[in-house]
Amino acid sequence: MWKHLWVIALVAGGAVAQEEEASSDETTLQIENEDNWLHGWSGSAEVGLNGSDGNTERLNLRAGIGGERDTSKMRTTFDLTYSYAEDDGEDTENRFRAKGFNEWKIEDPWSLFVQGSATYDEFQDWEWLLTAAGGVGYKFIDNDKTFLQGLLGAGISKEIKGTKNEIVPEGLIGLDFNHKLTERSEIYADFTFYPALDNFGPYRFEGNAGYKVLLDEAMNLSLKLGISDRYDSEPGEGFKRNDIDYFAVMAFDW
C-alpha cells in the first residue's frame, strides 16, 4: 500500500510541477510579448465607394486603416484616412489624415499620453496641418462593455502653405467613448476641443460618432456608419468654418 501511495505522490507532484512550469512559461511569454512592440496589434481596414453617371457624374471614395495595441503598461493607436469626391469631372474633396496616439498607464484610472497628426486638404486655407500634444488621461468607465475616458493637455499646431505661418499653442480637452450594444454591434464617439492659448478666442473642434455592426463573423466583415465634424473658428477668408462628412463603409477587422 505504501508503495502505491508513493507512486501516486510522485505522479501528483510531477503534475503540479508541470502546471507550475507551464504557468511560468505563459507568464514569461506574456511579458516578452508586451515588450515586443510588433506583437499584439489588432486593427481594421475600411472602404466605401458610391457614385452616379448620366446627367450628373459623381464619385465619392473613403478608405482607411487603423490599428491598436493594448497591454498592461501602454496603449497605442494609429489611424490613416483618405477621402476623395468628384462632381461633374471636378474635384470637390481631396483629403488625407494620419494620426497617432500613445498612452502610458501610470496608475489606474490615470494615464499620460502624447498624440500627433498630419492632415493634407486641397480645399482649405492651408495645404498641411500638423499638430502635436500631450497630457493626462482619466478613465471614468472601463469594463467589458463600456469605455469612457477624458483627456486634458496642451500642444501646438502649424499650418503649412497657409495664411497663418506661426506655430500656435493650443489647449486640449477631449472625450473618448465606446459601448457594445450586443456581441455584434457597438457605438462610438470622440470629441476634442483645441482652444488657442496665445490669443483667447480662436479654437478648433473635432468630433466623430458612429455605429458598427458585424455582418460576417467568419470573414470579420462589418458595416460602419458614421459622421465626422471638423470646425475652425478662423478658417481663412472665403472658407467655411464647418466641414461635415457622412459615410458608410465596409470594414475588415483583424
| Spatial separation of the C-alpha atoms in residues 80 and 47, rounded to whole Å | 12
Total of domains in the chain: 2
pLDDT digits over 67-85, tens only?
999 999 999 999 999 999 9
Check: CB of residue 152 under 8 Å from CB of residue 136: yes
Residues 113 and 205 in one domain: yes
Q: Within this chain, do residues 92 and 21 fall inside the same structural domain, yes or no?
A: no
- Out of 90-94, 179-183, 190-194, pick the least confident: 90-94
Asked if the model's pLDDT at residue 131 lies above 90, the reply is yes
Q: Hunting for cell 463600456 — which residue is that? A: 146
Across 98-112, 193-207, 239-253, the highest mean pLDDT is recorded for 98-112
Residue 224 and residue 104 share a domain: yes
**In a shared domain, residues 120 and 31:** no
Range of the domain at 35: 1-39
Taking residues 226-248, what's their average pLDDT?
A: 90
Smallest CA-to-CA distance from 178 within 205, 153, 151, 149 is with 149
Question: For 222-251, what is the mean pLDDT?
Answer: 92
CATH code for position 138: 2.40.160.40
Statement to judge: residues 162 and 220 lie in one domain: yes
Mean pLDDT of 110-125: 96
Numbers of helices and strands, H then E, in the chain: 1, 12
| More reliable by pLDDT, 39 or 66 | 66
* Segment 21-51, tens digit of pLDDT: 545 555 544 555 566 778 889 999 999 987 7
Residue 229 scores a pLDDT above 50: yes
Please indicate, yes or no, whether residues 29 and 45 belong to a single structural domain of this protein. Answer: no
Instruction: Based on the fold, state whether residues 35 and 47 are members of the same structural domain.
Output: no
The DSSP code for 124 is: S
pLDDT, residue 2, reads 41
